[in-house]
Structure 1
Amino acid sequence: MASSSVPSSQPARPPRPNLVFRHLRGSRSPAEFAAAVRRAAREIGERVSCDARYVHRVEAGEIRCPNYAYERVFLHMFPGRTLTDLGFAPRSSVRGRRTRAAGDQPAARPENPANATSETSGACEPYETHDRYDTYDPHDHEESDVLRRAFMTGGGATVAAALSPYGLAPEASAAQRPVRRAGTSDACALEEAVRRIRVLDDRHGADGLYRRAAAPLRAAYALLDAGATRQRTADRLYAGAGELAISVGWLAHDSGRFDDARSHYAEALATARVTGDAGLEAHAFCNMAFLARDAGRPREAVRAAQAAQRAARPLGSPRLMSLLALREAGGWAGLADRTGCEQALIRAQAYFDRGPAEADPEWMTFYGEAELEGLEAQCWSTLGDWTRAARHARRAAELQDPHFTRNIALYTAELADDLARGGRPEEAAQAGMRALDLLGEVQSSRVRSMLSGTSRVLLPHRRTSGVSQFLDRHASLPRMV
Structure 2
Amino acid sequence: MASSTVTSAQPDRPPRPNLAFRRLRGKRSPAEFAAAVRRAAREIGERVSCDARYVGRVEAGEIRCPNYAYERVFLHMFPGRTLTDLGFAPRSSVRGRRARTAEDALPAHLDGSPHASCETRGVAEPYELHELHGLRASSEPCDTQDPYHTHDNNEESDVLRRAFMTSGATVAAASLGPLGLALDAAAAGRPVRRAGAGDAGALEEAVRRIRLLDDRHGADGLYRRATAPLRTAYALLDAGATRQATADRLYSGAGELAISVGWLAHDSGRFDDARSHYAEALATARVTGDPGLEAHAFCNMAFLARDAGRPREAVRAAQAAQRAARPLGSARLMSLLALREAGGWAGLADRVGCEQALARAQAFFGRGASDADPEWMSFYGEAELEGLEAQCWSTLGDWPRAARHARRAADSQDPHFTRNLALYTAELADDLARGGRPDEAAGAGLRVLDLLGEVQSSRIHTMLAGTARVLLPHRRASGVSAFLERHASLPRTA
- For normalisation by structure 1, the TM-score amounts to 0.89
RMSD of aligned Cα (Å): 2.8
Match of 2:145 among 102, 120, 126: 120
Check 1:478–1:97 CA distance in 2 against 1; reply closer, same or farther (3 A cut). farther
SS at match of 1:94: helix
For residues 8 and 127 of structure 1, what CA distance do their matches in structure 2 show?
16
Match of 2:226 in 1: 213
Comparing 122-131 with 458-467, greater Cα deviation is found at 122-131
Checking the alignment, whether the CA contact within 8 Å between 2:386 and 2:408 is kept in structure 1 is yes
Count of residues in correspondence between the two structures: 463
Match of 1:29 in 2: 29
Checking the alignment, whether the CA contact within 8 Å between 2:306 and 2:314 is kept in structure 1 is yes
- 1:86-105 alignment, distance < 5 Å: 86-96=86-96, 98-101=98-101
Instruction: Verify: 1:397 aligned to 2:431, yes or no.
Output: no
Checking the alignment, whether the CA contact within 8 Å between 1:113 and 1:124 is kept in structure 2 is no
Match of 2:194 in 1: 181
User: Counterpart of 2:363 in structure 1: which amino acid?
Assistant: A
Which residues of structure 2 form unaligned runs of 5+? Answer: 107-122
Check 1:467–1:170 CA distance in 2 against 1; reply closer, same or farther (3 A cut). farther
For residues 490 and 185 of structure 2, what CA distance do their matches in structure 1 show?
36
Match of 2:279 in 1: 266
- 1:445-464 alignment, distance < 5 Å: 445-464=458-477
For residues 461 and 126 of structure 1, what CA distance do their matches in structure 2 show?
59
Q: CA deviation at 1:21?
A: 2.1
Check 1:185–1:452 CA distance in 2 against 1; reply closer, same or farther (3 A cut). same
Match of 1:410 in 2: 423
Comparing 26-35 with 271-280, greater Cα deviation is found at 26-35
Check 1:113–1:367 CA distance in 2 against 1; reply closer, same or farther (3 A cut). farther
User: Counterpart of 2:22 in structure 1: which amino acid?
Assistant: R
Match of 1:137 in 2: none
Match of 2:53 in 1: 53
Check 1:169–1:199 CA distance in 2 against 1; reply closer, same or farther (3 A cut). farther
Checking the alignment, whether the CA contact within 8 Å between 1:124 and 1:188 is kept in structure 2 is no
Q: Deviations along 1:72-122, whole A, 9 cap, x unmatched?
A: 232233333211222212122333464255888771469738864764389
For residues 90 and 65 of structure 1, what CA distance do their matches in structure 2 show?
7
- For normalisation by structure 2, the TM-score amounts to 0.87
Match of 2:485 in 1: 472
SS at match of 1:167: helix
Check 1:469–1:359 CA distance in 2 against 1; reply closer, same or farther (3 A cut). same
Match of 1:335 among 348, 366, 381: 348
Check 1:235–1:434 CA distance in 2 against 1; reply closer, same or farther (3 A cut). same
Match of 2:262 in 1: 249
Checking the alignment, whether the CA contact within 8 Å between 2:179 and 2:233 is kept in structure 1 is no
Instruction: Verify: 1:426 aligned to 2:439, yes or no.
Output: yes
Check 1:103–1:175 CA distance in 2 against 1; reply closer, same or farther (3 A cut). closer
Match of 1:67 in 2: 67
Checking the alignment, whether the CA contact within 8 Å between 1:50 and 1:131 is kept in structure 2 is no
Comparing 94-103 with 411-420, greater Cα deviation is found at 94-103
SS at match of 1:465: coil
SS at match of 1:17: coil
Instruction: Verify: 1:17 aligned to 2:17, yes or no.
Output: yes
SS at match of 1:478: coil
Q: CA deviation at 1:381?
A: 0.3
Q: Deviations along 1:321-375, whole A, 9 cap, x unmatched?
A: 1100000000000000000001111110111111110011111111100000000
Check 1:289–1:130 CA distance in 2 against 1; reply closer, same or farther (3 A cut). farther
Check 1:24–1:432 CA distance in 2 against 1; reply closer, same or farther (3 A cut). closer
Checking the alignment, whether the CA contact within 8 Å between 1:113 and 1:185 is kept in structure 2 is no
Q: CA deviation at 1:169?
A: 7.0
Match of 2:166 among 147, 163, 169: 147
Check 1:312–1:100 CA distance in 2 against 1; reply closer, same or farther (3 A cut). same
